[in-house]
């Protein structure tokens, strides 16, 4: 989640354009000694964020291996997920 907070802060607070945010994150990821410990594919997430008009947090969720493989559905009313090529289920449909 720290990466998503950095992306949000650079884009919202500091008003960095998306390309500058991506360059900054890539620079951070190449720091020696840095180890990413998480259940999502950061490279896939960054690629989705770069190629789509979406929030980084949505790209991060869509970049999770379970979501990418189709094994997991995203349960959300957020239609932005539809442009990311993942399966989305509206919560109300689960209650039927």
Predicted structure pTM score: 0.76
pLDDT digits (tens, 9 = 90+) for 11-43: 999 999 999 999 999 999 888 887 777 777 889
The C-alpha atoms of residue 58 and residue 72 are separated, in whole angstroms, by: 15
Q: Which domain holds residue 53?
A: 2-94
The distance from CA 40 to its chain's CA centroid, rounded to whole angstroms, is 9
Q: Which residues are paired to 88 by β-bridges?
A: 74
**CA of residue 95 relative to chain centroid, distance:** 27
Using one digit for the tens of pLDDT, what is the confidence trace for 43-82?
999 999 999 999 999 999 999 999 999 999 999 999 999 9
Query: What pLDDT does residue 33 have?
Result: 82
* Domains: count for the chain: 1
């Amino acid at each position: 989640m720290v990466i998503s907070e950095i992306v949000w802060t650079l884009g919202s607070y500091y008003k960095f354009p998306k390309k500058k945010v991506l360059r900054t994150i890539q620079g951070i990821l190449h720091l020696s000694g840095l180890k990413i410990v998480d259940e999502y594919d950061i490279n896939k997430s960054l690629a989705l964020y770069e190629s789509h008009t979406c929030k980084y947090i949505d790209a991060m969720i869509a970049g999770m291996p379970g979501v990418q493989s189709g094994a997991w559905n995203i349960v959300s009313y957020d239609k932005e997920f539809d442009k990311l090529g993942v399966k989305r289920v509206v919560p109300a449909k689960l209650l039927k």
